[in-house]
Chain A
Amino acid sequence: KQEVTQIPAALSVPEGENLVLNCSFTDSAIYNLQWFRQDPGKGLTSLLLIQSSQREQTSGRLNASLDKSSGRSTLYIAASQPGDSATYLCAVEYGNKLVFGAGTILRVKS
């Protein structure tokens, strides 16, 4: 069964800290991997998409890496800000289907 796991389930850090969110997947035959942000009561917003042939993608203070052979991806957030507080979800695409992790709830304290 294709499963996606995110660790930790929740994370609380002081403002300014660099942090790493982890995502692991059981089936390495992926098409791509996406990281999403979800604010309370809202839909999901795609942050970064990494194709299966790529190793990383960067957008501003965000950097996502992909290691297919080990079934892992990380989302690195530099110089965290209170506005980064949200739930971050990892999703792996297999053919026509995305499999989501349960998410990491991030709180950045000012």
Chain B
Amino acid sequence: NAGVTQTPKFQVLKTGQSMTLQCAQDMNHEYMSWYRQDPGMGLRLIHYSVGAGITDQGEVPNGYNVSRSTTEDFPLRLLSAAPSQTSVYFCASSQYGQGDNEKLFFGSGTQLSVL
């Protein structure tokens, strides 16, 4: 049982480049989400999904797109990278609305630098 898998672990981009951060979970979780973590600011929600075909914006969605075509996968797309998007990105999932199973499971993160 791999849990939540994120790829890549590290990425360096030039301003204006595009890329996709991959996230997959094998726990059949309905809820998946993307966060960014910046020093001294905790984690901030970018986008989330409560099931296949359903996505919604979080606190800081600008510059990012998501889709949820399957239960397992929730990729995050940066269309035109900017230095302000330099951060550590975390994907997380949970079996939403199931009591104690609502605990959020995190991937190991992607460290992104935009030059």
Residues of A whose CB lies within 8 Å of any CB of B are 4, 32, 34, 36, 41-46, 49, 51, 89, 91, 93, 96-103
A100, B108: Cα distance in complex, Å: 17
Query: B103 — which chain A residues lie within 8 A by C-beta?
Result: 34, 46, 49
Query: B104 — which chain A residues lie within 8 A by C-beta?
Result: 34, 36, 44, 46, 91, 98
Residues of B whose CB lies within 8 Å of any CB of A are 4, 31, 33, 35, 40-45, 48, 50, 56, 58-59, 90, 92, 96, 99-100, 102-109
Selected contact of A49 from candidates B4, B31, B102, B109, CB within 8 Å: B102
Closest to A47 in B: B103
Query: A91 — which chain B residues lie within 8 A by C-beta?
Result: 43, 104
A44, B100: Cα distance in complex, Å: 17
Q: Which 10 A-B pairs have the closest CB atoms?
A: A43-B106, A100-B42, A46-B103, A102-B42, A100-B43, A44-B106, A43-B108, A49-B103, A43-B109, A101-B42
Closest to B44 in A: A100
Q: Given A43-B90, A96-B56, A97-B58, are A102 and B41 also a contact pair (CB < 8 Å)?
A: yes
Min C-beta distance of B27 to chain A, whole Å = 13
Across the interface, do B105 and A4 meet the contact criterion of CB distance under 8 Å?
Answer: no
Query: B44 — which chain A residues lie within 8 A by C-beta?
Result: 100
Query: A93 — which chain B residues lie within 8 A by C-beta?
Result: 102
